[in-house]
Amino acid sequence: MRPYLPGYRGSFRSGFHMPPPYDLRLLFPMLFLVGIGIVMVYSASSAVALKDHGSDQFFLRRQALYVFPGFAVLLMCRYFPIRFLRALAYPILGLSFVSLVMVLLPGFGIKAGGATRWLRLGTISFQPAEFARLAMVVYLAYSMSKKDYKLETFSVGFVPHVMILLVFTFLIMLQPDFGTVVILFAITWILMFVGGVRLKYLLLSFLSSLPVVYLFLIGSSYRMRRIISFINPWRYAHDEGYQTVHSLMAFGTGGIWGVGLGKGYQKLFYLPEPHTDFIFSVIGEELGLMGILLVVVCFAYILWNGVKIARSAEDTFSSFLAVGLTVCVGLQACVNMGVALALLPTKGLTLPFISYGGTSLIMNMAFIGLLMNIGASQTRQESP
């Protein structure tokens, strides 16, 4: 029996007729993911943190602190006038280019684990590659909305975008960060597809790039081993397939309900980077299939709203921007999950909102802020 509450029926009815604004529809799943992220970062990293940093809360504290600048950036993006963003497309692109160059210069870049991915500016450090995704999306959205119907031509609609992409690719491969390159390529191709670049160009260029990718892979025994171990991880369970095999074991151990928060074993030095690249496996082990479904449903809900926002955006720039941002978040989530589930070879991409990492968290919250911004401007138009 429902208790009688004064005004209950009325409020229900008003909620029924007017769906909640995009602000809330994006905020809640995002908050949920960030919350799960902080809890899982603590669970996954405490052993590593204690061993490497002397405190089991080392990563927990930092991740919790990143949420504050994250919200500041989110609010900034939420209320920043979108039309100014067009004007900022090239400055942002330039800034991203400079930061990508700077990270390669000795004195600015921080080398960790065989790659130089962090740029130190004073007391803060961030990953220019994360920022490059935003710059690329804004640039593409601006460029494609400006070119309009000329998009269909090869020289105007295809070549300039790919040139910019290749410059970025070159810089990022020097770090190296293969995962981000893959994401940038995917975003560019998807956006060009959405914008109306001829499918012929997209498919042919994709096919013609395959030999290059092949040469690139066999050019490095390290990358080749990764591919071979991806095809049959169990055969290389003690070498290259090690992470994959332990990630699969984590999922298997978790079962439907999980072993319980904090009770997983695979994060204890079996999984490399349990709090970043393989946090999805830790969720699978500790929270089980139920936890996994919750996370996937949250991402799916964000993406669904992203798609809706893109469709109903007031202009093509906003529409492209929304698609780019949605694809950024969605693709990165899918690639990370795919790696953990051994559907893709190991990359080194984080799970948005959940994995440990300041730049990644702040950038992804910025994407959500921008999506809210686009969604709100269009809601304003629709509402009487």
Positions touching another protein (CB under 8 A) are 47, 50, 148-149, 190, 193-196, 238, 246, 248-256, 265-266, 268-270, 284, 288-289, 292-293, 296, 299-300, 303-304, 307, 310-311, 315-316, 319-320, 323, 326-327, 330, 334, 337-338, 341-343
Our CB check for another protein shows the closer of 48 and 171 to be: 48
Our CB check for another protein shows the closer of 20 and 255 to be: 255
- Residues contacting 100, CB < 8 A, separation 6+: 128, 129, 132, 168, 171, 172
What is the closest distance, in whole angstroms, from the C-beta atom of residue 325 to another protein in the complex? 12
- By three-state DSSP, how is residue 324 classified? helix
Our CB check for another protein shows the closer of 100 and 140 to be: 140
What is the closest distance, in whole angstroms, from the C-beta atom of residue 55 to another protein in the complex? 14
Alpha-helical regions (H) of 54-177: 58-79, 82-102, 128-147, 159-173
What is the closest distance, in whole angstroms, from the C-beta atom of residue 289 to another protein in the complex? 4
Our CB check for another protein shows the closer of 282 and 327 to be: 327
Question: What backbone torsions phi and psi does residue 111 show, to the nearest 5 degrees?
Answer: -90, 130
Where is 205: in which H helix or E strand? helix 199-218
Where is 318: in which H helix or E strand? helix 316-340
- By three-state DSSP, how is residue 118 classified? strand
Where is 109: in which H helix or E strand? strand 109-112
What is the closest distance, in whole angstroms, from the C-beta atom of residue 158 to another protein in the complex? 16
Our CB check for another protein shows the closer of 329 and 365 to be: 329
What is the C-alpha separation between 120 and 131, in angstroms, rounded? 14
Burial code of 112-124, b = ≥16 C-beta within 10 A, e = fewer?
eeebbbbbeeeee
What is the closest distance, in whole angstroms, from the C-beta atom of residue 354 to another protein in the complex? 14
Our CB check for another protein shows the closer of 119 and 151 to be: 151
What is the closest distance, in whole angstroms, from the C-beta atom of residue 170 to another protein in the complex? 27
